[in-house]
């Protein structure tokens, strides 16, 4: 792993993002090589702000762990917000990263256990719809020769104050995600999709 490249973790205060941050520090990345912004500092639904951030900071890699969290309550009480915010976060980040020469980007989505992929289920689940669109967007950028965009499908997670029955611990998942990010491109593509559990 190149511990000198500048890495932006979007959503570094969330469950997955905070674990990625700790794993990168433990792996020898100097704190000054890791870029973070809180939601208050950079609203990722704001396209102009995201573009300006990438143009100024030019990170080499991005972990896209920011999301508007879904669930039964969120899907039933604010479905439009859920799909709008996730589509904007994903779209703004992937496009700004592409325009600013980011070498690698990692996107996170729920695995099939938690992400209903059939059309009927999708129509009832704004979160699943948005995350599925994110996977497709990631794959389409990755089909360009100059964009090494990757995604990982995650199980239900526990850790750092979030204790889910049977959830996989987020620290192990974060370490595995960093390993997938650092695979040679051919190995990543051969073994895709990477489903962690
Ligand atoms: N947790 C799980 O069990 C699980 C399972 C499968 C997949 N995943 C995937 O992993 C990813 C991360 O999930 P997570 O559980 O770590 O989520 P999380 O704990 O809710 O963290 C999400 C982070 O994104 C930030 N954020 C949300 N909207 C933002 C915006 N408009 N601008 C800037 N920052 C924003 C949040 O900041 P604020 O809180 O300040 O808004 C928070 O720090 C998601 O893509 C999710 O689909 C998670």
140-173 pLDDT, tens digit each = 999 998 899 999 999 888 887 666 666 788 999 9
40 vs 18: CA distance, rounded Å: 16
CA-nearest residue, atom 33 of ligand 1: 39
Share of the chain above pLDDT 70, in %: 88
The partner residues of 13 in beta bridges, in order of sequence, read none
Q: What is the pLDDT of residue 177?
A: 96
Residue nearest to atom 47 of ligand 1 (CA): 109
The CATH number for 7-195, chosen from 1.10.10.10, 3.40.190.10, 3.40.50.720, 3.30.1330.10, is: 3.40.50.720
Domain edges within the chain:
7-195
| Per annotation, catalytic residue among 127, 141, 149, 151 | 127
Q: How far is it, in rounded angstroms, from Cα 11 to Cα 66?
A: 4
Tens digit of each residue's pLDDT (9 = 90 or more) over 49-88: 999 999 999 999 999 999 998 777 777 787 899 999 999 9
- CA–centroid distance, 15 to ligand 1, in Å, is 7
CA angle 3, 65, 17 (to 5 degrees): 60
pLDDT of residue 122: 54
Q: What's the CA-to-centroid distance between 68 and ligand 1, angstroms?
A: 6
> Residue 103: in which H helix or E strand, if any?
none
Quick one: average pLDDT of 102-122?
74
11 lines ligand 1 (CB under 6 A): yes
Q: What is the chain's alpha carbon radius of gyration, rounded to the nearest angstrom?
A: 16
CB 153 near ligand 1, within 6 Å: no
- Annotation marks residue 127 as catalytic: yes
CA of 163 to the centre of ligand 1 (A): 16
Whole-angstrom Cα distance, residue 112 to residue 115? 5
pLDDT at position 164: 65
Residue 110 Cβ inside 6 Å of ligand 1? The answer reads yes
């Amino acid at each position: 792993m190149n511990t000198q490249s500048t890495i932006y973790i979007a959503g570094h205060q969330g469950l997955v993002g905070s674990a990625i941050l700790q794993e990168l520090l433990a792996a020898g990345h100097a704190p000054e090589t890791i870029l973070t912004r809180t939601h208050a500092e950079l609203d990722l639904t704001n396209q102009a702000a995201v573009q300006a951030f990438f143009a100024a900071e030019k990170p080499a890699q991005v972990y896209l762990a920011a999301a508007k969290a879904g669930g039964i309550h969120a899907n039933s009480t604010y479905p439009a917000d859920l799909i709008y915010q996730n589509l904007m976060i994903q779209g703004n980040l992937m496009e700004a990263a592409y325009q600013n020469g980011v070498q690698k980007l990692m996107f996170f989505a729920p695995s099939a256990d938690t992400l209903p992929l059939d059309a009927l289920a999708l129509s009832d689940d704004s979160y699943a719809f948005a995350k599925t669109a994110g996977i497709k967007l990631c794959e389409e950028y990755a089909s360009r020769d100059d964009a090494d965009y990757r995604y990982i499908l995650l199980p239900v997670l526990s850790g750092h104050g979030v204790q889910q029955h049977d959830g996989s611990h987020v620290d192990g998942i974060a370490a595995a995600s960093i390993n997938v990010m650092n695979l040679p491109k051919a190995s990543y593509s051969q073994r895709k999709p990477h489903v962690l559990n």
